[in-house]
A and B are shown apart, each in its own frame.
Chain A
Amino acid sequence: MKRMKNISGFISSTLLVLFFLVRPAGLSAQDTLRTYGPRFGLDLARFLYILADPSEVGAEFSVDFEAFRNIYPVLEAGYNTISEDRDPFDYSASGTYARAGLDYNILRNKDRSQHHTITFGFRYGMSVFNHRIENIQISSSYWGIYRPGPYENDLTGHWAELVGGMKTEVVPNLYLGWSVRIKFLLNPDMDPLMVPELIPGYGTGGESRLLGFSYSILYMIPLLKK
């Protein structure tokens, strides 16, 4: 009796799998409805960065949409702060940033209903932020320690990015994805006194090229089916 139950369970599971895998005759993959809608994402890698460097805190959100076949306009936005108390001076910077661009999907899914993507794209990034230097100490062997006043400046950073990555739909409408990007700072001389230690959304201001990594969880709101 027990063996009979196991066999019937196996058969029903197999039928269930076959039901999803085998399509009725005459219905091709092209006939499957595809869902469309804005996809909102949160960069989880930011939280790992906090573990590695607690002085730097930030969050990043994204939204994209398959506007044309395999073409995804992307908007990413976030904020970053850094606060460091160090020996020669204390440094803090904070601000918001946004990136806009396009991703192009090169993965050809067998089924139109599948949304897995491997994308390449570009971004233009802009950050509006403030940085402040306090407790500056300049030591002289003869005159002693000189302590100039604090320095503060409101800045705007511009950069361009080339991006590559992939996204997998782990359950309907829910995605996990990663991306790597190379960033090119367009205005490295934004502050005559001090290159910003952190340009929110870009990274270290002293580097004219940087690599970036993100690992995101995303949810697509299924607004359209066609």
Chain B
Amino acid sequence: MSSRILLSVLLLFAVSCISVEVCDESYDSEVIVKFKTKQEGGAVDSTISAFTLYGIREGADYSLLYDSVPASGFTAPLDPGQEASMFVMQVNGQTDTILIYHQQEIYLISYTCGFANRFTLDHLESRGGIISGDTILKETVDAEDETNEEHIWIYF
């Protein structure tokens, strides 16, 4: 009887000690941008019927993040190790380049999963003239941000 109790206690300890941490394949720190139109008394949501977006970095290949889809905003991973993340956007056939300037540091997610990037947004710059302005709502972007957060509004 006592050996059964002892075995049960040992099993209890064994079970309580086993925990497996699951890591995602990538820990992207993604900026969440919403499209707005300025009106009297504030800004209202804006939807673009054909929106295309891709990120560019000198010497690197690019692939499309959005490909001619209706969109009221976009989510894009910020470029680590660069002074600014650069994206090319096509809005209903017109092209603009947007630069999101940021500072960056790394932070630990866990011993098992490793590190991720934390960005502090500084300012935006656009070169094509489509965007009329911007507001940074939340300066910090990291890999654990909720998907319903909004970091930037850009105005058309």
Contact = CB atoms under 8 A, between A and B. Distances in A.
30 contacts: A87-B114, A88-B112, A88-B113, A88-B114, A88-B115, A89-B114, A136-B115, A137-B114, A138-B106, A138-B116, A138-B117, A139-B25, A140-B28, A140-B77, A140-B80, A141-B25, A141-B26, A141-B28, A142-B63, A143-B55, A143-B57, A143-B79, A143-B80, A144-B60, A146-B80, A146-B81, A148-B115, A193-B107, A195-B108, A197-B111
A88 B57 CA distance: 24
Interface of B: 25-28, 55, 57, 60, 63, 65, 76-77, 79-81, 106-108, 111-117
Contacts of B107: 193
Contacts of A140: 26-28, 77, 80
Contacts of B114: 87-89, 136-138
A91 B76 CA distance: 31
A88 B111 CA distance: 8
Nearest to A197: B111
Is the contact region of chain A dominated by helix, strand, or loop, or is it mixed? loop
A19 B137 CA distance: 90
Given A142-B65, A142-B77, A143-B55, A148 B27 contact: no
B80 A138 contact: yes
Interface of A: 87-89, 91, 136-144, 146, 148, 151, 193-195, 197, 206
Nearest to B57: A143
Contacts of A87: 114
A142 B55 contact: yes
Nearest to B62: A142
Contacts of A144: 60
Contacts of A146: 80-81, 117
